[in-house]
Chain A
Amino acid sequence: NAGVTQTPKFQVLKTGQSMTLQCAQDMNHNSMYWYRQDPGMGLRLIYYSASEGTTDKGEVPNGYNVSRLNKREFSLRLESAAPSQTSVYFCASSDVTIRTGDPEAFFGQGTRLTVV
């Protein structure tokens, strides 16, 4: 039962470097999300994808790009990392449950990114 898998778990970047955070889910969910979490700020939505082939900006999209490669995978790219992007990043997926009609969301274990 893998659920939502994020890689890497930890990363240190120098300012200006680029990297891609990978996320994959094996629950056949339609919707996937990228959040960042900073102390005292809760979870802030960066981008989301309601279905394969679509992506939309969330609350804090600047400095990021995303790709919904297929139904399973949703990647987050930092083209030129900045110290302000030091954060914990969570990927999530969700879908409406057949039983209740409510969305059910699952999270990856997080990526702790430090930009120096």
Chain B
Amino acid sequence: RKEVEQDPGPFNVPEGATVAFNCTYSNSASQSFFWYRQDCRKEPKLLMSVYSSGNEDGRFTAQLNRASQYISLLIRDSKLSDSATYLCLEGSARQLTFGSGTQLTVLP
């Protein structure tokens, strides 16, 4: 079983919609989680960190549920420019483990 699992999608949503992705992890001792965004044929870039208390940045909200061992990313009022692949990351000082990514397409 992969240590970090994501629904690959694709998610096709209309502009203005709210969309949510989940990512489950298997290591209950994991401490640090992140969401990365990857545009087509480009390198992944940090979108936001995920804290136990939740983390909100504009239209984006990230949450961590330790009891059920998953993290989530909520995007409100989707824009065309949000179309990308979203990768969750479980990180430690020694190793980074990515999910396989969820593809989002926002349609006009």
Residue in A95, A100, A103, A108 whose CB lies within 8 Å of B43: A108
Complex formed: what's the CA distance from A48 to B99 in Å? Answer: 17
Complex formed: what's the CA distance from A50 to B100 in Å? Answer: 22
A109 B96 Cβ-Cβ under 8 A? no
B96 A90 Cβ-Cβ under 8 A? no
Chain A binding surface SS class = strand
- Chain A residues in 8 Å Cβ range of B94: 31, 48, 50
Complex formed: what's the CA distance from A45 to B89 in Å? Answer: 12
- Stretch in B44-52, B62-70, B76-84 touching the partner: B44-52
Contact digits for A30-47, partner B, Cβ 8 Å, 1 yes 0 no = 110101000011110100
| Chain B interface size, under 10 / 10 to 19 / 20 to 34 / 35 or more | 20 to 34
- Chain B residues in 8 Å Cβ range of A81: none
Nearest CB of chain B from residue A95's CB, rounded to whole Å: 8
- Chain A residues in 8 Å Cβ range of B46: 104-105
Tell me if B87 is interfacial: C-beta within 8 Å of chain A: yes
Complex formed: what's the CA distance from A50 to B32 in Å? Answer: 17
Given known contacts A42-B101, A100-B49, A102-B32, A90 and B95 CB-to-CB distance under 8 angstroms: no
B93 A103 Cβ-Cβ under 8 A? yes
- Chain B residues in 8 Å Cβ range of A108: 43
B45 A94 Cβ-Cβ under 8 A? no
A-B contact pairs, 29 of them (CB 8 A): A33-B96, A35-B98, A40-B8, A40-B100, A42-B6, A42-B99, A42-B100, A42-B101, A43-B87, A43-B101, A45-B97, A50-B93, A50-B94, A90-B43, A90-B44, A94-B96, A96-B93, A102-B32, A102-B34, A102-B91, A103-B32, A103-B92, A103-B96, A104-B46, A105-B46, A105-B89, A105-B91, A107-B43, A110-B42
Q: Which 3 A-B pairs give the minimum distances between C-beta atoms? A: A42-B100, A107-B43, A103-B91
Q: Residues on A close to B: CB < 8 A?
A: 30-31, 33, 35, 40-43, 45, 48, 50, 88, 90, 92, 94-96, 100, 102-105, 107-110
